[in-house]
Amino acid sequence: MSDTTRRRPLIAIAGLGIEASTFSPARTEAPAFHPMRGSEIFDRYAAFLGEGTELRRAADWHPALVGKALPGGTATAAAFATLSDEIVERLRAMPPLDGLWYDIHGAMTVEGLADAEAVLLRRIREAVGPDVLISTTMDLHGNVSRELAHQSDLITCYRMAPHEDAEETKERGVRNLVERLQNGAGRPLKAWVPIPVLLPGEKTSTRIEPAKSVYAQVSDAAAQPGVLDAAIWVGYAWADEPRNRAVAVVTGDDEAAVGAQAERLARAFWEAGPAFDFVAPVGSLAETLDAAIESDKRPYFISDSGDNPTAGGAGDVTWTLARLLEDPRVLDTQRVAIYASIPGPDAVATAVEAGVGATVTVTAGAAVDDVHEGPVTFTGVVDGIRHGDRDAEIEVVIRVGGVRIIVTKLRKPYHLERDFTGLGLDPRNADIVVVKIGYLEPELYDMAAGWMMALTPGGVDQDLVRLGHDRIRRPMLPFDAPDFDPDLHARFIAPSNEPLTGPDE
Ligand SMILES: [Zn+2]
């Protein structure tokens, strides 16, 4: 390390990120990762690696490839092979490296593979050699297997959900890497503690208890003498691999402090387990509709949460829409209901051709995810047409009785008021607004006088137990009775340049 203290360290950047449900039949191909190369990568991280920034000047940076996809289905084996081959080729072409920043989400599932981010990191290690110091930064909804903790020298994740500290976290991971290389401190100790709890993000917002208090302890743990960084991963609930669960990891140079802080965080999370609950009242779709119709709060929002496209749902599950179209209370023209949304390219073409005011019969949805219900057919009046949306391309509103159904050419999340008003809809004066979403995004939350989350089926079903996980480790909450006492002692994971020892767990 003596030479790296005299010159600027040479650091590569690589990573792939997606949150991918294994309970959705959707598949993700390589272009969906929008792979960035060279200077595009500096643009992505301009806040702390842009031209002239302190960290940019502190090292000689070599961006390889970084790809980030929107949440969706499992990545295809071909997509993973193409992107990881390119990462490895680019790294092999680089001069000898001192460090590598591995920026991932941590919930990438790949056809035929388990623990994809660790598999990729092992390939990266083979390309760059055992002496390179690797800093891994992640989403707190990612998963940290023993192997990923072993291959990484530094590892951390966000401390906030929603992820307001995403850039800050990446910067911290990069800064710690640069400093370790500059001061020649080498590899820190790593204490890893698996926590047998698997929770959806809708129960673990750090804006509310108990996650608020649990996560408040992370920065305190990281500030202890002899500790470099500290993190708790909630894990990703909608994939079925042995790594899916919560984990705490603390890194640093003082063995006692590192171990004690890792155990403290793991115990805090475990003990809060029974208190983690949904951020909104929940019920079956029928219960949420009953509540909305009986309530005098307007507008009343219902989250169609099982098919939330921004958590990994296909976004085209028709189950909820089919139930709404069967319900005379929803079809009653005395009420104004809005349904956002269902993809149906043929339905959109039919509506566009017929024009506003025409009556059309169309079929939409279930092109990707038809596990719970097939495509739905309905007859209604075309109320609005809009061209040019970045995600949807074309959106139409078809009114069936009292319900205005938004049909899109391509899938699109409806998170903003203007997503509705731009279509001539007035959600503030609607009775019921049903949206494919989990917790309401801020603009919808502000609009909603009443709100319930419907536990609907889909690739990101909030009722985890009925999904049928069978590869996760057991016992695990909430899949087993809470009458077991987990081993929450700190496991010190071998440095990346030594073999991984100890039981596979
Ligand atoms: Zn996340």
What mean pLDDT do residues 169-193 have? 97
Radius of gyration of the chain (CA): 24
Would you place residue 500 in the very low, low, confident or very high pLDDT band (cuts 50, 70, 90)?
very high
| Half-sphere exposure for 301 (CA within 13 Å, toward CB) | 27
Q: How far apart are CA 130 and CA 96, in angstroms?
A: 11
Would you place residue 342 in the very low, low, confident or very high pLDDT band (cuts 50, 70, 90)?
very high
pLDDT surpasses 50 at 1: no
For residue 161, the CA-to-ligand 1 centroid distance in Å is 7
What mean pLDDT do residues 74-82 have? 98
DSSP codes of every residue in 51-98: TT-HHHHHSEEEEEEEEE--SEEEEPHHHHHHHHHHHHHHHHTSPPPS
For residue 198, the CA-to-ligand 1 centroid distance in Å is 14
pLDDT surpasses 90 at 3: no
Sign of CA dihedral 259, 157, 182, 224: negative
For residue 247, the CA-to-ligand 1 centroid distance in Å is 15
For residue 347, the CA-to-ligand 1 centroid distance in Å is 33
Domain map (residue ranges) of the chain: 10-277+488-492, 282-461
What mean pLDDT do residues 318-336 have? 96
What type of residue is 104?
A: I
pLDDT surpasses 80 at 4: no
For residue 233, the CA-to-ligand 1 centroid distance in Å is 10
- Please provide residue 7's backbone torsions phi and psi, each rounded to the nearest 5 degrees: -120, 170
Q: How far apart are CA 63 and CA 15, in angstroms?
A: 10
- pTM for the model stands at 0.92
For residue 201, the CA-to-ligand 1 centroid distance in Å is 7
What type of residue is 290?
A: D
For residue 68, the CA-to-ligand 1 centroid distance in Å is 13
Q: What percent of the chain has pLDDT over 90?
A: 94
Angle 352-354-356 from CA coordinates, rounded to 5° = 75
For residue 332, the CA-to-ligand 1 centroid distance in Å is 39
What type of residue is 93?
A: A
For residue 139, the CA-to-ligand 1 centroid distance in Å is 5
For residue 94, the CA-to-ligand 1 centroid distance in Å is 32
For residue 159, the CA-to-ligand 1 centroid distance in Å is 10
- Rounded to whole angstroms, what are the CA distances from 344 to 317, 388, 410? 11, 16, 7
Three-state DSSP string of 304-317 = EHHHCCCCCCCCCC
137-141, 284-288, 308-312: least confidently modelled range = 308-312
For residue 353, the CA-to-ligand 1 centroid distance in Å is 40
Q: Where are the alpha helices (DSSP H) in 393-494?
A: 417-421, 442-447
For residue 408, the CA-to-ligand 1 centroid distance in Å is 26
For residue 91, the CA-to-ligand 1 centroid distance in Å is 28
Would you place residue 390 in the very low, low, confident or very high pLDDT band (cuts 50, 70, 90)?
confident
Q: Which residue has the tokens 């949440």?
A: 71
Would you place residue 412 in the very low, low, confident or very high pLDDT band (cuts 50, 70, 90)?
very high
Predicted confidence at residue 286, as pLDDT, reads 98
For residue 19, the CA-to-ligand 1 centroid distance in Å is 8
Crossing angle (nearest 10°) for helices 255-272 and 211-222: 180
pLDDT surpasses 80 at 214: yes
pLDDT surpasses 80 at 2: no
For residue 403, the CA-to-ligand 1 centroid distance in Å is 32
Q: Could you report the per-residue pLDDT of 415-468, keeping only the tens digit for each?
A: 999 999 999 999 999 999 999 999 898 899 999 999 999 999 999 999 999 999
Predicted confidence at residue 6, as pLDDT, reads 58
For residue 81, the CA-to-ligand 1 centroid distance in Å is 24
Q: For residue 308, give both structure tokens.
A: 């939330």
CB 95 within 8 A of CB 173: no
For residue 224, the CA-to-ligand 1 centroid distance in Å is 26
Q: How far apart are CA 36 and CA 15, in angstroms?
A: 10
Q: For residue 288, give both structure tokens.
A: 């949420």
Residue ranges with CB less than 5 Å from ion ligand 1: 139, 141
Q: For residue 247, give both structure tokens.
A: 């984990």
Q: Which residue has the tokens 């989990």?
A: 438
pLDDT surpasses 50 at 328: yes
Q: Could you report the per-residue pLDDT of 462-484, keeping only the tens digit for each?
A: 999 999 999 999 999 999 999 99
For residue 71, the CA-to-ligand 1 centroid distance in Å is 10
For residue 250, the CA-to-ligand 1 centroid distance in Å is 20
Predicted confidence at residue 399, as pLDDT, reads 98
The one-character DSSP state at 201 is G
* Helix or strand run (H / E) with residue 222: helix 211-222
For residue 498, the CA-to-ligand 1 centroid distance in Å is 31
Average pLDDT of every residue of the chain: 96
Predicted confidence at residue 7, as pLDDT, reads 79
Nearest Cα neighbor of 320 from 332, 311, 308 is 308
- Please provide residue 243's backbone torsions phi and psi, each rounded to the nearest 5 degrees: -85, -10
What mean pLDDT do residues 376-383 have? 98
Predicted confidence at residue 174, as pLDDT, reads 98
Question: Alpha carbon 418 to chain centroid distance?
Answer: 24
Q: For residue 128, give both structure tokens.
A: 């760059």
For residue 95, the CA-to-ligand 1 centroid distance in Å is 34
CB 125 within 8 A of CB 483: no
For residue 190, the CA-to-ligand 1 centroid distance in Å is 23
For residue 141, the CA-to-ligand 1 centroid distance in Å is 5
For residue 287, the CA-to-ligand 1 centroid distance in Å is 28
Q: What percent of the chain has pLDDT over 70?
A: 99
Would you place residue 279 in the very low, low, confident or very high pLDDT band (cuts 50, 70, 90)?
confident
Q: Could you report the per-residue pLDDT of 291-307, keeping only the tens digit for each?
A: 999 999 999 999 999 99
CB 47 within 8 A of CB 81: no
Predicted confidence at residue 162, as pLDDT, reads 86
CB 221 within 8 A of CB 264: yes
